[in-house]
Amino acid sequence: MSFIEQDIKPSLNQSESGSAARIIIAGPCSAETELQVLETAQMLTGLGVSYFRAGVWKPRTSPDSFEGAGYQALEWLVQARNKFGLRLAIEVANARHVEAALKHDIDLLWIGARSTVNPFTVQEIADALRGVKKPVMVKNPVNPDAGLWKGAIERVLRADVGQVFACHRGFDVYGKTRFRNEPLWEIPIELKRHYPEIPLICDPSHITGKRILIEEVARKALNLGYEGLMIETHPDPVNAWSDAEQQLTPQEFGELIRRLQFRMPSTDNPSYQEQVAILRDAIDEVDSQLLEVLANRMELSKRIGEMKSENNVAFYQHNRWNSVVEHARDEARKLGLNEEFVLKLFSAIHLESIDIQGE
């Protein structure tokens, strides 16, 4: 019997009592053909997938790129749900997409990174979803603007939909990095501080752009307390019609999920609570000392700035900054500290020192 002829009972992911929350979204970047959609759905069945995703409409940079199969792909997805019991998730970019998705009773809708940058687009989608009790996921905007992300989430929240998720898929930054989109973890962490009740999902496929890096990013996200993952999967990733380099086979996906550990936000273990409280008090004390040291350093920078002003000397001194960088690197190595972290810290201190001197 072929996979198209089989009917498999639903196998939806449910968190066990006392275990960490898990939201797992998987499926191909694009819905290419009916066969590909159904084959992927069958191969993902039983792997703990909460939602089966597929790109119906793909916002592509080049008009020559595959932009999705469009409305016909919705029928393929409905077939996958009926046969394999997988809930469905798709991206919507305008009110017409929302109307079509609701007509096909798609279970989860998400607003993509290219849409989140435009408040008019987000509002159009939110208005089309008003009062619809379905989960809606909001991806971060392409550019590293936390305000746009927060604003998009607020618009969706005010539309009185079902559960709202936030999806971190990385940010477009200047210059080449290891990743397709730089994670900039501080932005989703800040978002979670403002919206602790909103589940945070990580999309390591779009962050990395390379399948070999997906596990590294997924693991870090779970260590940071993310409640879910969205990972692109394809039966034949090498020949995928879009984003071939960042998709896993369903088998690779299943093995990855088994290796990963979702973490709980806390525990009622009294021994843990007591010991962590003591260590956090110690950290608070060290933080106070750090701030005092920073204040002293800035005071010294201010005095140097006064001398530079009196002598008409430029505030930025290239040779001095090189010396500071080399000293910081040497000390970081001796103390077993991450050099990249130390350089970022000293860069921030250096820029603040220049601003203080300029005042």
pLDDT one-digit tens code per residue, 252-262: 999 999 999 99
Q: CB–CB of 171/133 below 8 Å?
A: no
- DSSP E strands, the chain: 23-27, 51-53, 88-92, 108-111, 136-139, 164-168, 200-202, 228-232
Rounded-to-integer distance, Cα 91 and Cα 158, Å:
20
DSSP secondary structure code for residue 53 in this structure: E
Domain boundaries, the chain: 23-259, 270-358
Q: Is the pLDDT of residue 291 over 80?
A: yes
**Alpha-carbon distances of 43 from 47, 86, 215, rounded to whole Å:** 8, 11, 20
Q: CB–CB of 140/110 below 8 Å?
A: no
Q: What is the mean pLDDT of the chain?
A: 92
pTM to 2 decimal places: 0.84
Rounded mean pLDDT, 326-354: 95
Residue 213 tokens read as 């890096």
Nearest to 76 by CA among 121, 117, 40: 40
* CATH number for the domain running over 23-259: 3.20.20.70
pLDDT one-digit tens code per residue, 311-327: 999 999 999 999 999 99
Nearest to 88 by CA among 73, 70, 105, 107: 107
CATH class of 270-358: mainly alpha
